[in-house]
Amino acid sequence: MNRNDATARVAHVFGGTLVHSTPRSAVEILQNCVLGVDDKGKIAFIEKDQDVVSLSKKWDFETSDIKRLGQYEFLMPGMVDTHIHASQYSYTGTALDLPLLEWLNTYTFPVEAKYKDLDFANNVYTKVVRRTLKNGTTTACYFATIHTDASLLLGELADRFGQRALVGKVCMDCNSAVPQYKESPSECKEETDRFIKELLKKEYPNVKPVVTPRFAPSCSSSLLTELGKIANNNKLRVQSHISENKEELELVKTLFPGCKSYTDVYLKHNLLTDRTVMAHGCYLTDEELEIFHETGSAISHCPNSNISICSGMLNVRNVLNHKVKLGLGTDVAGGYSPSMLDAMRRTLDTSKALTIQDPQHKTLSFEEVFRLATLGGSEALSLDDQIGNFVVGKDFDALRVNVCIPDGPIDLFPGEGPKVILEKFLNLGDDRNISEVYVAGRQVVPFSDT
């Protein structure tokens, strides 16, 4: 094919092992493959390595340009963090000694109030974007704070460092123990409109706004109604929290006595759509999961947070049996780790704890958890037409993983095949093993300034 015609040029070609998920197979390992990325950052081809010469002619690249992966390297899809509070990153790894409602009033709201100060915001937001990218999070669904300008800054930083992001200006108008950390309903509506308008006006290719009521106890019914209207009128995504902790559940019952369940609160305010992702859901009933299935709403499973602040344990198997979309989230800083590898490990731990309680429970496999961190996350964020696995035409969001690095965290032994190597990376690996990160074809790690 002649490169002077209208087809896209090939920007990268990789040769070696690809590991990803498909709807039918939790882990598919493709060995001796070549994968090409066009100059728009999309996957142009995935072929067997047999006839590289004819491929190179067809796609107009030099065979010497192929980035050859070593024996202990593979490409995998970038990980999707479906729930992370960028604004809580400064105290990640601390303050895990209180249950949710006290934790919010004691630690979280006082810190989030500081984001009025854009210098403070710039420092923390730069660090969280860099830390998560380095750990392989190519897509993050972020909660910011109630401050519009700081939330816009988070979007700007994600774009600058090249992370795909959904960014939410937090909406809350009641029940905050920090008086200055809430808005009036009208202010909240106006600022949400401004946030959405200004972020969309930037035309960042991979950073978009998400309507973000904090959770039912922080929002009046009239605010929830307004946010439902904004989301539906503009076909925007929605994120919030649901059924995380028992005390919270009781509070919602008293605050919304006309609603049949926590799910019914969001349903009645038109906030459950096929573009909605709700974090936690530990105590959702089968009836509520049925509503999630019918509306196409997704759940973000945040196991580190669920255990760290003693909230509960989500039965992921039951959610999947109800055919509800599900991704994984770090829920920094309720969760103490910003790494999606940790989210996978904690997902397995929780699943095993449920099996200890009930031997009939079918424990999740590491393969299933790998799918939840990649393709599952893309589905939960309604981005699966664009990312999540290696399919021609999707954006190239990928990690180059090297399990065999000097003084690294993984030891290998003779005879270990690619599936074992993947399992060792998922259980033992860390950011040292993630040598390169790509988002929409752009190499974003190593950082260009280091």
Supply the minimum distance, in Å, between the C-beta of residue 296 and ligand GUN.
Answer: 23
- Report residue 322: phi and psi, to 5°: -85, 5
Question: Could you tell me the sign of the dihedral formed by the alpha carbons of 209, 81, 382, 39, in that order?
Answer: positive
Supply the minimum distance, in Å, between the C-beta of residue 146 and ligand GUN.
Answer: 12
Q: Which DSSP string corresponds to 92-107?
A: TTS--SS-HHHHIIII
Of 151, 322, 115, the closest CA to residue 239 belongs to: 151
Question: Could you tell me the sign of the dihedral formed by the alpha carbons of 6, 11, 12, 18, in that order?
Answer: negative
Pick between residue 248 and residue 331 the one whose CB is nearest to Zn ion.
Answer: 331
Pick between residue 262 and residue 438 the one whose CB is nearest to Zn ion.
Answer: 262
Supply the minimum distance, in Å, between the C-beta of residue 437 and Zn ion.
Answer: 24
Pick between residue 226 and residue 331 the one whose CB is nearest to Zn ion.
Answer: 331
Do 282 and 244 form a contact (C-beta atoms < 8 A)? yes
Do 188 and 151 form a contact (C-beta atoms < 8 A)? no
Supply the minimum distance, in Å, between the C-beta of residue 157 and ligand GUN.
Answer: 20
Whole-angstrom distance, CA of residue 180 vs CA of residue 165:
28
What is the contact surface with Zn ion in residues (CB under 5 A)? 279, 331
Pick between residue 104 and residue 249 the one whose CB is nearest to ligand GUN.
Answer: 104
Pick between residue 61 and residue 109 the one whose CB is nearest to ligand GUN.
Answer: 109
Pick between residue 334 and residue 388 the one whose CB is nearest to ligand GUN.
Answer: 334
Both tokens of 51, joined, read: 């006839």
Whole-angstrom distance, CA of residue 110 vs CA of residue 104:
9
Supply the minimum distance, in Å, between the C-beta of residue 445 and ligand GUN.
Answer: 27
Residues linked to residue 142 through DSSP beta bridges, in sequence order: 84, 167
Partner touching 136 among Zn ion, ligand GUN, none, CB below 5 to 8 Å by kind: none
What is the contact surface with ligand GUN in residues (CB under 6 A)? 85, 100, 104, 108, 214-215, 241, 244, 305, 331, 334
> What is the distance, to the nearest Å, from the Cα of residue 232 to the centroid of all Cα atoms in its chain?
22
Pick between residue 172 and residue 410 the one whose CB is nearest to ligand GUN.
Answer: 172
Supply the minimum distance, in Å, between the C-beta of residue 38 and ligand GUN.
Answer: 39
Whole-angstrom distance, CA of residue 165 vs CA of residue 312:
28
Supply the minimum distance, in Å, between the C-beta of residue 201 and ligand GUN.
Answer: 28
- Report residue 206: phi and psi, to 5°: -125, 15
DSSP letter for 395, please.
B
- Contacts with 39 (C-beta within 8 Å, 6 or more apart), sequence order: 8, 9, 10, 11, 441
Do 176 and 182 form a contact (C-beta atoms < 8 A)? yes
Query: What amino acid occupies position 342?
Result: D
Supply the minimum distance, in Å, between the C-beta of residue 237 and ligand GUN.
Answer: 18
Pick between residue 20 and residue 280 the one whose CB is nearest to ligand GUN.
Answer: 280
Which residue's CB atom is positioned nearest to ligand GUN? 334
Which residue's CB atom is positioned nearest to Zn ion? 331
Pick between residue 86 and residue 121 the one whose CB is nearest to Zn ion.
Answer: 86
Partner touching 215 among Zn ion, ligand GUN, none, CB below 5 to 8 Å by kind: ligand GUN
Supply the minimum distance, in Å, between the C-beta of residue 42 and Zn ion.
Answer: 32
Cis bond leading into 333, ω under 30°? yes
Of 201, 270, 198, the closest CA to residue 233 belongs to: 270
Most distant pair of Cα atoms in the chain: their distance: 69
Pick between residue 73 and residue 112 the one whose CB is nearest to ligand GUN.
Answer: 112
- Contacts with 263 (C-beta within 8 Å, 6 or more apart), sequence order: 242, 243, 272, 284, 288, 291, 292
Supply the minimum distance, in Å, between the C-beta of residue 131 and ligand GUN.
Answer: 18
- Rounded to 5°, angle at Cα 126 from 103 and 201: 100
